[in-house]
Amino acid sequence: MIFICAKWQVKPENADQWLDLTRDFTEATRAEPGNLFFDWSRSVDDPNEFVLIEAFLDDAAEAHVTAPHFKQAQADLPQYLVATPKIVNFVVPGNDWSELGEMEVK
């Protein structure tokens, strides 16, 4: 799978509405064939920073970045940001989360 983590620095005046502002983009992405997960979290240290964890089957990421809702997000979302989002992405084996064996719950 292609695993992606992106940090989004949102303007303070838009931070409380960020999940609503990205709702259509989020729902459309989650409905894409090949999307495994697409989950937002708000930083506990910086209330204006959101972290997006997403994953796609290997052949689905290109379809994501060429989808109409992605193009719409490219047009709409930058106005709410302080800076260009930061990203890391990797191809990793599997297609789901693995268990954290060091913290096994028995």
C-beta of residue 35 within 8 angstroms of C-beta of residue 85? no
Average pLDDT, the chain: 95
Architecture in CATH of 2-81: 2-Layer Sandwich (3.30)
Beta bridge partners of 13: none
Confidence of residue 76 (pLDDT cuts 50, 70, 90): very high
Residue boundaries of the structural domains of the chain: 2-81
Contacts within 8 Å (CB) and 24+ apart, 30-36: 32/56, 32/60, 32/63, 32/64, 32/67, 33/60, 33/63, 34/59, 34/60, 34/61, 34/63, 34/64, 35/60, 35/64, 36/1, 36/95, 36/96
Query: What pLDDT was estimated at residue 60?
Result: 76
Q: What is the mean pLDDT of residues 40-64?
A: 92
